[in-house]
Amino acid sequence: MTSSPAVVVTDDCDCCNLRYLYYPSIASPTTSSYQHGTDVRAGAHSDYGSVTLLFQRPGQPGLEILTPEGTWAPVPVQPGQTAEEDRDAAFPFPPILVNIGDLLSYWTDGLLKSTVHRVVFPLSEQQSPNPQDRYSIVFFCHPLDKTELVPVPSDIVTAHRQKCKESGVQDEKVGFGGGAGSLEPGKRTLTAQEHLEARLAATYKFDK
């Protein structure tokens, strides 16, 4: 019998990270300079990795996603109500919200679209006598830096790519650079690190 090591040591950077977020509550809009509609807790963005797992307090409002129509819609994160979940009701646990990130969009040529989201100060909460702090825990899942972003070997992704080509609709923004399957001849495959750097550069005009 062989045993495998619990930790694999590698010279490649694993860029997964876990963030603990605390957003203090603010006083009622009538007593602060806060402007609903302008001031937000976290501005509109999409995440850079493959998927993001978000844990937050059950039912706490604030998280919103951008709809295809261009409006903001609240994302209710509620504990489940099935019989099995009720059994554990003494410890209601919020479900885990899974966000698609830019890398997964790139990897699937935009078939899976990264979610644009933001966190606002909900007006209802601001106006309540007891406005709440917001806490969330976010796990950003990224592959190792040197991972080559070869096209996902999926018939569905291939069919999607073909359909985009035929209709001439290549949404550069969705796949960030056209997607893993639309490499120009002679160009080599991007690595996860290069994709991340391109997204950081696009957001912060950050250059090495």
Ligand X SMILES: O=C(O)CCC(=O)C(=O)O
User: Where on the chain is the footprint of Fe ion (CB under 5 A)?
Assistant: 47
3-state secondary structure of 158: helix
8 A C-beta contact, residue 14 and residue 144:
yes
Q: How many CA atoms lie within 13 A of 161 on its CB side?
A: 20
Residue 120, interface with ligand X (CB under 6 A)? no
Q: Which of 100, 111, 112, 119 binds ligand X (CB under 6 A)?
A: 119
How far CA 107 is from CA of 37, 52, 137, in Å, comes to: 34, 15, 25
Amino acid, res. 135: Y
Residue 64, interface with ligand X (CB under 6 A)? no
Residue 21, interface with ligand X (CB under 6 A)? yes
Residue 117, interface with ligand X (CB under 6 A)? yes
**Least Å distance between CB 25 and ligand X?**
14
8 A C-beta contact, residue 169 and residue 59:
no
Token code pair at residue 56: 């937050």
**Least Å distance between CB 125 and ligand X?**
14
Residue 63, interface with ligand X (CB under 6 A)? yes
77-96 residues in contact with ligand X (CB under 6 A) are: none
Q: Which does 136 bind (CB under 5 to 8 A by kind): Fe ion, ligand X, none?
A: ligand X
